[in-house]
Every structure is written in C-alpha cells, then in structure tokens.
Amino acid sequence: MKRSLAARMAKGIGYVLLLLVIVTAVDVWRSQDLPTDVAALGPLTTLKGDDINLSALSERQPVLVYVWASWCGVCRIVSPMVDMVQTPVVSIALASGHDRKVNGYVQEKDYKFSVVNDADNTLSQVLGIKVTPTLMIAYKGELRYATSGITTLPGMWGRVWLAKLMG
C-alpha cells in the first residue's frame, strides 16, 4: 500500500513539474515580441485622472501590469484574483469602451486596482497584445514574465517573487 501511494505521489509530482516546464516555455514564447522597456508605453493616466510613471513606480518594487477587457470571459475569473495581489497593479482596459463605461464596469465589480483605459487599442498595439487577459511584471523599468489566459493567484505571486529574485 505504501509503495503504491509513494508511486502515485512521485507520478503526480512529475506531472506538476512537466506542467510547469510547459507553462514556462509557452510564457517565454509569448513574451518574445513584447517590448522590454516600460517607457514604450509612454505616459499613463488612470480613469481617476492620476498620472502613472511606470518606470519610476517599478524602480523599487515589482508592479503587476494587467491587460484585460470588460468583454473578456476569462478576465472575469482573473480580475478578482488580480485585486488580491499585494503588490502595486496597473491595469489596462483593452477596447472596453469610453471612460465612463469602463469606470462603471470597474465600480460595479468593485475592483480596487488602478485602470488605464485603452479605448483605441494604442497601448495593446505597442505591447503587441492579442490575447486577454495578459499579465506582465514591470520591474526596474523593464517588462518581464508575461503570461496570457487564465493565471492563478499563486502564479501571479510567483512571477512577482521571481522578478524580485532575479532583480
């Protein structure tokens, strides 16, 4: 019985490690076309009218950059988790309508993260983003560790931790 349990656990650990390798490879492949310099985004202004200097904000600590859309079904799953991340978050609402519409959506969902409205897809084109949600870490003026699609809270924490570790 013990041998069977140990064998199943070893097999399960092997599957988890294989999954991590695959996910990491896909993330690296998706990240290859992203600009690495956050300055490529230019000046950012939130729906609340706050100016964000992402280069300066990311100089001391990692910042989660979250590109999402109000019409994105997967974003409805990921956004509440993004709201739980204990690191600064700058989100970009992709093609979700005019400021008032996006602001109403954010208030309805009670999201706390800051939102930059990309109504005309300018920022998403600069970033080369074709899939929502997309998450990246901005740290020390660079964009790193991009992933698209469903991402778990531990996955977000892991990317923030990795950014700190790799400095």
Give every strand in the sheet of 134-139, ordered side by side.
114-118, 89-94, 63-68, 134-139, 142-148
Read off the pTM.
0.83
Q: For CA atoms 12, 79, 56, 98, give the dihedral sign.
A: positive
- Give the start-end residues of each E strand in the chain: 44-45, 51-52, 63-68, 89-94, 114-118, 134-139, 142-148
Instruction: Please tell me the predicted confidence (pLDDT) of residue 63.
Output: 97
Positions of the chain with pLDDT lower than 70, given as ranges: 1-3, 19-35
Instruction: Please tell me the predicted confidence (pLDDT) of residue 20.
Output: 66
Instruction: Please tell me the predicted confidence (pLDDT) of residue 4.
Output: 82
Instruction: Please tell me the predicted confidence (pLDDT) of residue 102.
Output: 97
Reported as a single tens digit per residue, the pLDDT across 29-59 is: 666 666 678 888 889 999 999 999 999 999 9
Question: What is the distance of C-alpha 139 from the center of its chain?
Answer: 13
Instruction: Please tell me the predicted confidence (pLDDT) of residue 10.
Output: 80
Tell me whether residue 78 is exposed, middle or buried, using C-beta atoms within 10 angstroms of its C-beta: 0 to 12, 13 to 18, 19 or more. Answer: buried
Instruction: Please tell me the predicted confidence (pLDDT) of residue 145.
Output: 84
Task: Please state whether beta strands 114-118 and 51-52 pair in parallel, antiparallel, or not at all (unpaired).
Answer: unpaired
**CATH number for region 34-166:** 3.40.30.10
**Phi and psi (nearest 5°) for 50?**
-80, 135
Instruction: Please tell me the predicted confidence (pLDDT) of residue 121.
Output: 92
86 within 8 A of 156, measured Cβ to Cβ: no
127-130 long-range CB contacts below 8 Å, 24 or more apart?
A: 127/34, 127/35, 127/40, 127/41, 127/67, 128/33, 128/34, 128/35, 129/67, 129/94
